[in-house]
Amino acid sequence: MRKGFDGLYGLVRDKLLCDPLSGHVFLFSNAQKNRLKILFSDSSGLWVCSRRLEKGRFYWPEATNAQAKIVLSQAEFALLVGGIDLTLTRRRRWYRKGVAEESDSARIPA
């Protein structure tokens, strides 16, 4: 886990084929899964944040052989960084308003 700004930027651009300046959050782990680095860009520059566990490991989701990246929701990201094993959790079905429904409900009848 020796990579800094330029190394992580290159990994995102060349290995993951993503734009590091897109505003997405990119999460990296070392082989022992006890250190994390987060790369993200705001409107003013690039951020690298790191976290090291003194004991224990992060429970990283398994990727298939052909899969270079895993896409997480905000909730899954928070659970992973918080030490929750994502393989022991499951998503529940629930209703979410679509973009078209939100714009329809926002209209005020005349």
Domain-located, residue 75: yes
Q: Could you list the residue range(s) of the whole structural domain that residue 90 is in?
A: 5-102
Instruction: Report the distance separating Cα 80 and Cα 71, nearest Å.
Output: 12
63 to 66, 69, 71, 104: CA distances (angstroms): 8, 7, 10, 39
**pLDDT score, position 107:** 52
**pLDDT score, position 110:** 47
Instruction: Report the distance separating Cα 50 and Cα 39, nearest Å.
Output: 9
Domain-located, residue 110: no
Q: How many domains are contained in the chain?
A: 1
**pLDDT score, position 19:** 94
Instruction: Report the distance separating Cα 2 and Cα 50, nearest Å.
Output: 11
Domain-located, residue 107: no
Domain-located, residue 89: yes
**pLDDT score, position 108:** 52
Domain-located, residue 18: yes
Backbone angle region of 11, left / alpha / beta, with phi > 0 → left and psi within -120 to 50 → alpha = alpha
Per-10-residue mean pLDDT for the chain, 110 residues long?
A: 89 93 92 92 92 89 78 88 83 73 51
Domain-located, residue 109: no
Going by C-alpha positions, the residue among 20, 27, 56, 55 that lies closest to residue 41 is 20
**pLDDT score, position 50:** 93
pTM as predicted: 0.74
**pLDDT score, position 106:** 52
